[in-house]
Amino acid sequence: MRKNFKRIFNGCKYKLLFVFLTVITTASMGQVKIAGRVTNASGNGINAVTVAVKNTPYATATTSDGNYELSANVKPGKYVLLFSGVGYKTQETTIDVNSASISTDASLVQDALNLDEVIVTGTSAGTTRRQVGSYIATVKAEDLTRGATGNVLAALQGKTAGAQITQNSGDPAGGMSVRLRGISSISSSSEPLYIVDGVIVNNSTNRVTNTQGNYDGQGFVGTIGQNRLTDINPADIERIEVLNGAAAAAIYGSRANSGVVQIFTKKGKTGAPRVSFSSNLILSSLRKKLDVNQSPTKFGGPTDGPGAQTQDVLTPALTNTTPVTRYDYQDDIFRKAVGTDNNISVSGGTDKTKYFLSGSYFFNQGIIRNTDYQRYSFRTNVEQVLSNWASVSLGLNYVNSSANEKPDGNSFYSPMNSVTIIGNFHNIHDRDVNGNLKAVGERGRVNPLSVIENIKQKQTTGRIISNFGIKLKPLKNLTLDYTLGMDNFSQLGTSFMPPFTYNVSDGFYGGGAGLDPTRNGYASTGSNTFFGINHDVNATYNMDITNNISSTTQVGFSQQYEKNNYSLVQGRGLAPFVQVASGFSTPLPTADERSELSISGVFLQQNFKFYNNFFLTGAVRVDGSSVFGKNQRNQTYYKVSGSYVISSTKFWESSSLKNIWDLLKLRVAFGQSGNLTGIGAYDRFNVYSSSSYVGRGAFSSSTRLANENVKPERQEELEVGTDMSFLGNRINFSLNWYNKKVTDLLISRVIAPTTGFSNLIDNFGSLTNKGFEVMLGGTPVKGKDFTWSINGIYNHNKNKATNIGTGLILFSTNGGAPVAILQDEPVGVFYGTFFAKDASGNLIKNTAGIPQIERGIQNSPSTYTTQRDANGLPTGTPLRRIIGDPNPDYTATLVNEFTFKRLSMRVQLDAVKGGDVFNADFRTRQGVGNGKIAEQEQRGELPRGYVSGIYAIEEWRIDDGSFTKLREVSLSYNVGKMKWFSDLTFSISGRNLISWDNYKGYDPEVNAAGQSTILRGIDFGSVPIPRTFSIGLQAKF
């Protein structure tokens, strides 16, 4: 069977499959009007409850008073009317269509755990939470727009279990990374697959700015810059579903290794046009300022001019002192920033045509001077019923964004690092007679004001995401749908570093002391265009086998194709006034990189439902990707899951337990998924890349050898969980335990250079993520006017690399972080030299009182023997061990919500505990003398030579990354109907207001390596996350 399946698949003959499914008939129809009112337990009408005639395309929604009216073109007979509303249990009422007008009322029961909420993920027709055997988180619109952010991923922070969402940079369009149940790959991105209305949307990070190639020592920088999900406007979103692992995401097959995030945008609803408008004023500022060195003297000679001597602290031979004036340059680079977020939407429709139109303008300044980000976004979602069995839909989203940036932190010409790398004793505002800034010290550093005033970097993106869908219901129980998704964007980045007027090092694109005109200044233009298309065809067949057993069968086919072109022109040694890359006198290597890949897959999913309390689902998916060799191309993934709602059994319903224990659901799921895009489109080929060398063409072989028969990575996940609720749904509890194992891990492993190569990319070893997620919620107070609800999420994940061999994989990173992958350890630990300690754990110091680096014999990467000399000081080779781990022990969120009459308040606390940060900037501040430890040495409170003595001890840069943040606070007052407004709300909210931490830098929530999978928790010149306030109003007309 499996073989046949594959053969069909290979031959592309599966297209024929759909021809079989279209042999259908139609029968005579009649028009019927169904109307009624939907109320809650206290008899009040409920707004926006969907009323649908089951297994037909006819549906509508209730108005604000709970009334609905629906016209359906159906044959006479018995039908089921479905009432479903957010927060209510779905109700089914059987109606008998025998007259032209039917009246049916319904009273809905609150559903705290949203058991009957419809989940679209993984099926074309949707299923209910009751049925799924795996945990799927849902986040609703109102939770996304209250947190004072214009970034959808920032808005998701703390709102979904099992996700660690990190803002890597405080830039206004700063990168965000999402890790669902830990990382799932080493070689590729661990960001989940994003699907917006059926379109697979690209969330890549492309370096069209920060293109400088020699970028500080060619170290491993990571994945820096904007990630493209910044293009999605949170205000357009109706709902987000998050699938944490393979157990839930198996039917997404080959690209679901890191989980799936499905985003559904708002749709029109039947009724008169509704105009919604919201406007917010955003105010951002630096949350925490660092204390700087206030010592009145420095060691050695003058700070500037002839004989200048900076980095005095690191030169212990200097013992004379010079009085200096101290400055705080933070005021020169930071500012109070403002922004606005304006959204308008119009939605409405008739029985046959529904539309949602929106326009948005978001503008936000960065807290770094002269940085900002703006985004225009337009969206149209239209659905048209063509006949009683067919409907089409079209969604179009155009986004245009532009960002004024400053160089990324990883360079010393970035705003943060230009301040970090100099002693705070230069008057940086000092100018020569021509008004030009002057050099800072003798080392050719960049004056921070040059970065703020002169260096320009701009990134613009135009993007169209469109989806076209056809939904057919040719037979009573058969649904066919087809989705065509296209994602097309083009990014353009320009960088301009004008020639410096003072001594700036060649390494920072200066012209040196002689202002060499062929080297001074830098300009580049980088562009990246992406085109992606995906086709998905699904057929769903529902069948009642007996009265109590029903079946849902689904078959689907998916075809995806992606094309990406990246190009770069750059040069240095600029002519005055000219900002474009063609104005250079020294060309730098250009880039022109093209890639294409395609993936296709078919799947079959079978679901059985017994007595509405026991559910069983099995699925199989076969996928093929062009990225892998012919023999490894096609992969098969299986999934099986079960769900047992014990509280819906006859036994439970008739027992007295029912009175206090409302819900008990047990679920178990197992699934497999792959990573068919785990390596680059052509990474399996061993190639010779061409470049120019002194006017001749060179063909260089890669330092990395590829196994041309590499396989995709595979993930298997077992998830067991339960959902419970008690005391009339006042207390809710869910627990997920999971064990994710990624095998055939693609690692570029270090091999002996005597093989002719330094790395070999192949399927080595595996990776496990084990953990659990607990969600506990309750409503301590629930009164007529006042309600207090409290919800908590606790996530624990333990990541471990296994079977990767005993060798050490050590990355030479840009910020100096010694990031390693070691057998049986979490991926991305910090591995390096450490402080020598005595038996009782105290630091060993030399006679001068300076702590010592541990020495001895390194027996293997993870074992060593310490040695002491006659004076009890360490002797031998400097030893290395794991000195820190950026992976947190747990993350947690606590949300308190209060409503008092029309006033509501929401307070969200996020905690990340137990992770370490490699605080490179902390050490630099001491080395160059603007930090507080340097001050102590200059004031004589620490022995002379203290900083230089411990400078090489990498453990000194390990900092406590734990924090608890007051992530979101929002307060809103609903005025309700007022004059020409049908609804009016005022709100004030805050984001990242307070952080409780012991971190020695600005903010432990940081990653200078951006969205990198392996490099986490590195603080090297990153812009700290601002404290943000937002004041706004939301109005409906």
Partner 1 sequence: MKITYKIFLLIAISAIGITGCKKDFDNPNAATEDQVFSSVQGLTGVAISLQKIYVSGLTGSYYNIVDANGLVTNELFLVNPGNIPELQFSTGGNAVDGTNTVIANIWSNANKIIYDGDKVLAASEMLADKNYASGLIGYTTIFKALALGSLSQFWDSIPTGIGTNVKFVPRVDGYNRAVTAIDKALAAISANAISTSFTANIPPGISIINTLQALKARYALFAGSYTVALAAANAVDLTVKSSFTFDALNINPIYQFATATNNVFQPIDSTMGLPIGLRPDLLDKRVPFYMTINTSIAPRFRINGFGATALTPIPIYLPDEVRLIIAECLVRQATPDLAGAKLILDFILKQTPAADPYGVGADLPLGYTGAIDAASLLTEIYRNRSIELYMSGLKLEDMRRFNRPLSERKRNFFPYPFRERDNNPNTPPDPAF
CA distances from 699 to 253, 692, 756, 759, 761 (A): 38, 9, 16, 19, 21
Q: How far is the CB of 1012 from partner 1 (least distance, A)?
A: 20
* Total interface residues for partner 1 by CB under 8 A: 106
815 binds partner 1 (CB under 8 A): no
The footprint of partner 1 on residues 949-988 (CB under 8 A) is 951-952
d(CA 56, CA 169): 48
755 binds partner 1 (CB under 8 A): yes
**DSSP secondary structure string for all residues of 3-65:** HHHHHHHHTTGGGGHHHHTT-------EEEEEEEEEE-TTS-B-TT-EEEETTSS-EEE--TT
Candidates 464, 580, 718, 810: give the one binding partner 1 (CB under 8 A).
810
Candidates 67, 98, 548, 690: give the one binding partner 1 (CB under 8 A).
690
The stretch near partner 1 (CB under 8 A) out of 77-85, 456-464, 694-702, 933-941 is 694-702
Burial of 770 (0-12, 13-18, 19+ CB in 10 A): middle
CA distances from 117 to 339, 390, 791, 897 (A): 36, 25, 19, 22
Candidates 320, 387, 582, 865: give the one binding partner 1 (CB under 8 A).
387
Joined tokens for residue 425: 């004793």
The stretch near partner 1 (CB under 8 A) out of 197-205, 397-405, 429-437, 685-693 is 685-693
Question: x-or-dash pattern for partner 1, window 299-328, by CB under 8 A?
Answer: ------xxxxx-x--x--------------
Question: x-or-dash pattern for partner 1, window 396-435, by CB under 8 A?
Answer: ----------------------------------------
47 binds partner 1 (CB under 8 A): no
Return the number of the residue (535 or 770) whose C-beta is nearest partner 1. 535
* Contact (Cβ atoms closer than 8 angstroms) between residue 585 and residue 579: no
d(CA 184, CA 767): 7
Cβ contacts of 899 within 8 Å, gap of 6 or more: 786, 787, 905
The stretch near partner 1 (CB under 8 A) out of 220-228, 507-515, 636-644, 844-852 is 507-515
The stretch near partner 1 (CB under 8 A) out of 43-51, 111-119, 658-666, 876-884 is 876-884
Candidates 215, 603, 670, 757: give the one binding partner 1 (CB under 8 A).
757
878 binds partner 1 (CB under 8 A): yes
Q: How far is the CB of 954 from partner 1 (least distance, A)?
A: 9
756 binds partner 1 (CB under 8 A): yes
E strand or H helix that includes residue 331: helix 330-333
Q: How far is the CB of 690 from partner 1 (least distance, A)?
A: 7
The footprint of partner 1 on residues 550-569 (CB under 8 A) is 557, 559, 561
948 binds partner 1 (CB under 8 A): yes
* Contact (Cβ atoms closer than 8 angstroms) between residue 200 and residue 561: no
The footprint of partner 1 on residues 518-547 (CB under 8 A) is 518-519, 533, 535, 537
1037 binds partner 1 (CB under 8 A): no
Burial of 274 (0-12, 13-18, 19+ CB in 10 A): middle
Q: How far is the CB of 749 from partner 1 (least distance, A)?
A: 8
513 binds partner 1 (CB under 8 A): yes
The footprint of partner 1 on residues 923-942 (CB under 8 A) is 924, 927
Joined tokens for residue 493: 């980045």
The stretch near partner 1 (CB under 8 A) out of 51-59, 340-348, 428-436, 579-587 is 579-587
436 binds partner 1 (CB under 8 A): no
The stretch near partner 1 (CB under 8 A) out of 130-138, 255-263, 657-665, 686-694 is 686-694
Return the number of the residue (512 or 943) whose C-beta is nearest partner 1. 512
Q: How far is the CB of 309 from partner 1 (least distance, A)?
A: 6
20 binds partner 1 (CB under 8 A): no
* Contact (Cβ atoms closer than 8 angstroms) between residue 730 and residue 787: no
The stretch near partner 1 (CB under 8 A) out of 102-110, 117-125, 454-462, 466-474 is 466-474
Return the number of the residue (665 or 923) whose C-beta is nearest partner 1. 923
682 binds partner 1 (CB under 8 A): yes
CA atoms within 13 A of residue 364's CA, in its CB half-sphere? 26
Q: Taking the mean position of all CA atoms in its chain, how far away is CA 451?
A: 29
Tell me the H-state helices in 146-240.
Answer: 152-156
* Contact (Cβ atoms closer than 8 angstroms) between residue 138 and residue 117: yes
DSSP summary character for residue 371: -
CA distances from 873 to 859, 865, 947, 985 (A): 20, 14, 18, 68
The footprint of partner 1 on residues 731-750 (CB under 8 A) is 750
* Contact (Cβ atoms closer than 8 angstroms) between residue 874 and residue 867: yes
Return the number of the residue (340 or 758) whose C-beta is nearest partner 1. 758
Cβ contacts of 664 within 8 Å, gap of 6 or more: 645, 646, 647, 652, 722, 723, 724
Report helix, strand or coil for 146: coil
Return the number of the residue (833 or 1030) whose C-beta is nearest partner 1. 833
Q: How far is the CB of 7 from partner 1 (least distance, A)?
A: 13
Candidates 37, 54, 443, 704: give the one binding partner 1 (CB under 8 A).
443
The footprint of partner 1 on residues 250-309 (CB under 8 A) is 305-309
Joined tokens for residue 895: 């949300």
990, β-bridge pairs:
969, 1029
d(CA 246, CA 261): 13
Q: Report the candidate in 86, 56, 88 with the shortest Cα–Cα distance to residue 71.
A: 56
Question: x-or-dash pattern for partner 1, window 594-623, by CB under 8 A?
Answer: xxxxx-x-----------------------
Q: How far is the CB of 557 from partner 1 (least distance, A)?
A: 8
d(CA 251, CA 603): 7
854 binds partner 1 (CB under 8 A): no
Q: How far is the CB of 924 from partner 1 (least distance, A)?
A: 8
Q: How far is the CB of 315 from partner 1 (least distance, A)?
A: 8
Candidates 102, 201, 588, 1008: give the one binding partner 1 (CB under 8 A).
588
Q: Report the candidate in 504, 592, 603, 644 with the shortest Cα–Cα distance to residue 133.
A: 644
Residue entry with tokens 């919500």: 897
The footprint of partner 1 on residues 695-724 (CB under 8 A) is 695-701, 703
Candidates 444, 448, 815, 1021: give the one binding partner 1 (CB under 8 A).
444
d(CA 262, CA 122): 10
Cβ contacts of 990 within 8 Å, gap of 6 or more: 148, 966, 968, 969, 970, 1027, 1028, 1029, 1030
631 binds partner 1 (CB under 8 A): no
d(CA 1016, CA 655): 52
Question: x-or-dash pattern for partner 1, window 87-126, by CB under 8 A?
Answer: ----------------------------------------
Return the number of the residue (370 or 538) whose C-beta is nearest partner 1. 538
